[in-house]
Structure 1
Amino acid sequence: MVNAGMGELVEIILPVRDMNTQVAFYRDMLGLHVYEPEAVQDFRDFYDVKLYTGTCMLVLHTVRGEESNSEHAPKLVFRVADLRQSRELLQEQQIEMGEIRSPENGLLICDGKDPEGNIFSLESSDEQAQQPIKVTSQPGRATTYVSINSRRGRSITLLRDNKFVIALEVAGIILLNIARTPLNLVSLLTVFLVIMALLWLRGSSWSQMGLRTPLHWRSTLLTGLIGGLVLFLMSTLVFSPIIETFVHSAPNTQLLDTVRGNPIELATTLISIWTSVAFGEELIYRGYLFNRIADVFNDSGLGWTIAVFGQAIIFGLAHIYQGLAGILLTTAYGVMAGLLYLISRRNLWPCVIAHGLVDTISTILRFTGMA
């Protein structure tokens, strides 16, 4: 008999398709503790979720919708004292074994197949194993890693962990917005491309900012439409009269009067609203700036509170061409849109829909001469 030095069973990897539903079952119904990630309520953007069973880890692993269940059977993970020796002993017995890899600092893993083709893994500790950094892990995609000593690895570490650098990053985007409006030195596309580069440099994605596919499009659309109507009514009937009373002026929106009685201008404006304005501004303000401001404060409750008002103030200052009344009104809108973002579990689609609806109603009213 050959003993490959198997130790304790440390993980069972279970393939899942709906991460939130499966986490809710094992956590809320069976009482397992979520070990990683911590302090998270929405698990849709996580490729792996670990739950502690008391003896080993249950790892819920997202698989693509088009793949069959047979391709992703549950996998057992065993801890061994010497992975290299155990691998060689199994190979001598004609057991198919994969290459050794190091997904985490000090950890070696090797996959194999039993005589019936079921996949298992061996893992062991190794102080010489190089620590890689996990780049964005998304459902349907394999997790990728970069070396911590590479240029990108160093930039990821810096942009994820250094609060001073994060604050400088936010300040830089604010300055770009000032250059965009009112100075008109850069375009919205330029700001968007800079943010794209920053996301790549820290191994993140728009999905983590909230631009992810909703579980239910119908409820998302309904949330956006209702939210848009509420935001429009609150802005028009509540905040606008209060602001005009205090500052003794209305927002200066003469630049938007070109649509009045002009069907062609109306059509082009509506196209712009639903592309660059609603979509682009929500990604920048409610998506990127909202999350990065919260990152400065470790994503705490205080951090999210500051983020709600911080991104709203920046959004309001971007409308400085509308005068003081316009700044205050759009700041109030930014606060309400930020709350909608949180209510929607930080999914941007309801905010995009609401923003587009508010601007569409305002534009049509201006076209008809009712605004």
Structure 2
Amino acid sequence: MRHSTGELGKRALWALPLLAPLLISGIGALFSVAIVVIAIFTVKSAYAPTMALVWRGWGPSLALGAAVGVATALGFALLVDPVLSAVTGEPVDLSSFAAVEGNLPNYLVLLAIGLLFGGIAEELVFRGFVIGWGAELFGKPMALPLAIVSACVFGLAHMYQGWTGVISTGLVGLIFGVLYVACGRRLLPAIMAHATNNFIGVTAIYLGIGL
């Protein structure tokens, strides 16, 4: 199948936020966010599928997202992560957040980052742009395969947590991606799920609970 130069350009632009976390260690996701923000305001076809937000109303969107977030946080803390740690021989590396335990100012800073950057910005990139606009570019049947691609890069963007953290985060990203697709590629449930999951995780670190 032949594609116009403009269509190929759009596909290249779509791929850039996926490449940034792989090519730029640590801060690649920041470049991904910047690319997406520029893209949705300069490429007409990118805005609507990326920014489609509400699924069946605000209440159902937020309630479903919160439920998935709680289930994900607890399920991974109590079951998935221990199994992954046993298989890989190493736990998820959360040493980067050691200064948060028992420190309220640090907790509030990390919580704000987790809710705003993690919950909103990362979902805009990895679900809204990569899957939402990607499904428009490559065809709607590609939504689930794109969710897998998105989850893999999402996991690798968390390499600072070690390979166990990469796998764990990738699986979490897959859950958020499947939720996004199941909700008709509407972003709010995934945003709420991600924010809820991060809220529980960051709070557990602050309290020294070990979730």
TM normalised by structure 1 equals 0.51
In the alignment, the residues of structure 2 paired with residue 274 and residue 196 of structure 1 have an alpha-carbon distance, to the nearest angstrom, of 18
What count of residue pairs does the alignment treat as equivalent?
207
| Equivalent residue, structure 2, for 1:346 | 185
| Equivalent residue, structure 2, for 1:53 | none
| 3-state SS, counterpart of residue 329 of structure 1 | helix
**For the Cα contact (< 8 Å) 1:315–1:330, is it kept in 2?**
yes
User: In the alignment, is residue 173 of structure 1 matched against residue 17 of structure 2?
Assistant: yes
Counterparts in 2 of 1:313-352, with a 5 A limit? 313-352=152-191
**Alpha-carbon displacement from aligned partner over 1:274-323 (angstroms, at most 9, x marks no partner):** 212211000000111123443453222xx122112110001001011111
1:308–1:333 Cα change, 3 Å: same
Counterparts in 2 of 1:83-94, with a 5 A limit? none
| Offset, 1:256 | 1.3
| Equivalent residue, structure 2, for 1:361 | 200
1:314–1:187 Cα change, 3 Å: closer
Identity %: 21
| Offset, 1:237 | 2.8
In the alignment, the residues of structure 2 paired with residue 206 and residue 226 of structure 1 have an alpha-carbon distance, to the nearest angstrom, of 28
| Offset, 1:178 | 2.7
Indicate the larger mover: 202-211 or 280-289. Answer: 202-211
**Alpha-carbon displacement from aligned partner over 1:155-199 (angstroms, at most 9, x marks no partner):** xx755xx3x4444334322222234433x3x562x4323223323
| Offset, 1:214 | 5.0
1:217–1:291 Cα change, 3 Å: closer
In the alignment, the residues of structure 2 paired with residue 171 and residue 222 of structure 1 have an alpha-carbon distance, to the nearest angstrom, of 32
| Offset, 1:368 | 1.1
Q: In structure 2, what residue type is equivalent to 1:274?
A: L
| Equivalent residue, structure 2, for 1:237 | 78
| Equivalent residue, structure 2, for 1:255 | 96
Q: In structure 2, what residue type is equivalent to 1:308?
A: A
Q: In structure 2, what residue type is equivalent to 1:175?
A: L
In the alignment, the residues of structure 1 paired with residue 18 and residue 140 of structure 2 have an alpha-carbon distance, to the nearest angstrom, of 20
| Offset, 1:215 | 4.8
In the alignment, the residues of structure 1 paired with residue 9 and residue 198 of structure 2 have an alpha-carbon distance, to the nearest angstrom, of 35
Structure 2 gap segments, 5+ residues each: none
In the alignment, the residues of structure 1 paired with residue 5 and residue 72 of structure 2 have an alpha-carbon distance, to the nearest angstrom, of 38
| Offset, 1:207 | 3.7
Name whichever structure is richer in helix by fraction.
2
Residue among 115, 139, 157 paired with 1:298: 139
1:326–1:310 Cα change, 3 Å: same
TM normalised by structure 2 equals 0.87
In the alignment, the residues of structure 2 paired with residue 296 and residue 217 of structure 1 have an alpha-carbon distance, to the nearest angstrom, of 28
1:352–1:181 Cα change, 3 Å: farther
| Equivalent residue, structure 1, for 2:125 | 284
Q: In structure 2, what residue type is equivalent to 1:290?
A: I
In the alignment, the residues of structure 2 paired with residue 352 and residue 291 of structure 1 have an alpha-carbon distance, to the nearest angstrom, of 14
Q: In structure 2, what residue type is equivalent to 1:265?
A: N
Name whichever structure is richer in strand by fraction.
1
In the alignment, the residues of structure 1 paired with residue 14 and residue 146 of structure 2 have an alpha-carbon distance, to the nearest angstrom, of 11
**For the Cα contact (< 8 Å) 1:210–1:346, is it kept in 2?**
no
| Offset, 1:252 | 1.0
| Offset, 1:358 | 0.8
CA RMSD in angstroms comes to 2.2
Q: In structure 2, what residue type is equivalent to 1:222?
A: A
4+ long deviations beyond 4 Å: none
| 3-state SS, counterpart of residue 140 of structure 2 | coil
**For the Cα contact (< 8 Å) 1:294–1:306, is it kept in 2?**
no
Which of these two proteins has the greater Rg computed from alpha carbons? 1
| Offset, 1:366 | 1.1
Structure 1 gap segments, 5+ residues each: 1-156
Q: In structure 2, what residue type is equivalent to 1:173?
A: P
**For the Cα contact (< 8 Å) 2:132–2:185, is it kept in 1?**
no
| Equivalent residue, structure 2, for 1:150 | none
Q: Select the structure with the greater relative contact order (CA < 8 A; seq sep ≥ 6).
A: 2
In the alignment, the residues of structure 1 paired with residue 134 and residue 79 of structure 2 have an alpha-carbon distance, to the nearest angstrom, of 28
1:337–1:214 Cα change, 3 Å: closer
